[in-house]
Amino acid sequence: MSDLRAIDTVVNIWTPEAIKHRPDWTDDFFIGKVKGKHSSDGISLDVMIGEMDAAGIEYGFLIAAKAGRPGLPGCYHMPPEVVADAVAKHPDRFLGLLGIDPFQGMDGVRALEDAVTNMGFIGAHLYPHWYDLPPNDAKYYPFYAKCIELGVPIQMQVGQSLIYSKEHRGRSVGRPIYLDDIACDLPELKLIGSHVGIPWHDEMIAMTWKHENVFLSTDAHSPKYWPESVWKYLNSYGQDKVIFGSDFPVLGFGRTMDEINDRELKPVAKAKFLRNNAVRVYGLEARGIAPAPLPKSAGES
């Protein structure tokens, strides 16, 4: 499996143009809170692609994120055009996810439909913490229904939130158990819980095992610190339920992949985790993106 090329399903666009839309996300945040080594000056798409190549990552899902309501501290809405332009320049490396704001109501639902049908976006993205609304709140349901109608997944942050600033302390409204309500109400909806679900990671595992269309994404937390139950799940009976992400630039591509490669994962489980599950859940074969070939022992767990 040495030629395995990963798909990173959680990537923040970090070009100088993009950073203009999130001015509060400075070196102080990334170095002081996230412990990253990132410049708030940004990097070019070509540099990002070079880092992806070095790490063995073929595709990155860029998020046109929406975080908070306009006027609140730390709020930013990444224009979908910024992501769509990056995807248009490098369609063989990037795909787009549209962030949703539950307070935009049907205007937001129509924007989601436009992004998918006319701009090539392949899914939706949600930060419940930024709106102080748990993901099972009624305000989200029109967006969920539209995702089903469009046949696209939605990924959402689960687990604890950060203290983003003194003014925005981000209540942890993203308990994975709230996905149970959504999946029971809308079993067709493909739900991806990102950020591992820490500190409720076992709760997140339980949701993915219970519901056919609920999945776990491993972004934002360094692999060497993932709980052992997460490693065991993705390497055994949960190998079809866990999807790789970095949350770049919160985590660098190289460091993330190095720490995964340091673990002795089964070849089949590793291929599913790093590539094939994303291909299946996001329907990427229709876009000409093939899964990695699996050994004949693919049925073994």
Ordered DSSP codes for 251-298:
S-HHHHHHHHHTS---HHHHHIIIIIHHHHHTTGGGGT-PPPP--TTT
Q: Within 10 Å of residue 259's Cβ, how many Cβ atoms?
A: 15
What string of DSSP letters covers 99-157? E--GGGHHHHHHHHHHHHHHH---EEEE-GGGGT--TTSGGGHHHHHHHHHHT--EEEE
Torsion sign, CA atoms 243, 176, 167, 70: positive
Instruction: Give me the pLDDT at residue 207, please.
Output: 98
Question: What tens digit of pLDDT does each residue of 240-290 get?
Answer: 999 999 999 989 999 999 999 999 999 999 999 999 999 999 999 999 999
Of residues 33 and 192, more confidence is placed in: 192
Lowest mean pLDDT across 64-68, 212-216, 264-268: 64-68
Per-chain mean pLDDT for the chain: 90
- Tell me the pLDDT band of 25, cut-offs 50, 70 and 90: low
Of residues 220 and 272, more confidence is placed in: 272
Instruction: Give me the pLDDT at residue 173, please.
Output: 78
- Tell me the pLDDT band of 146, cut-offs 50, 70 and 90: very high
Sheet containing 57-64: give its strands across.
Answer: 6-11, 57-64, 94-99, 123-126, 154-157, 191-194, 214-217, 242-243
Architecture of domain 6-287 in CATH?
A: Alpha-Beta Barrel (3.20)
- pTM score of the predicted model: 0.93
Question: What tens digit of pLDDT does each residue of 71-123 get?
Answer: 776 688 999 999 999 999 999 999 999 999 999 999 999 999 999 999 999 99
* Cα–Cα distance for residue pair 238/232, rounded to 1 Å: 8
Instruction: Give me the pLDDT at residue 281, please.
Output: 98
- What share of the chain has pLDDT > 90, as a percent? 77
- Tell me the pLDDT band of 3, cut-offs 50, 70 and 90: confident
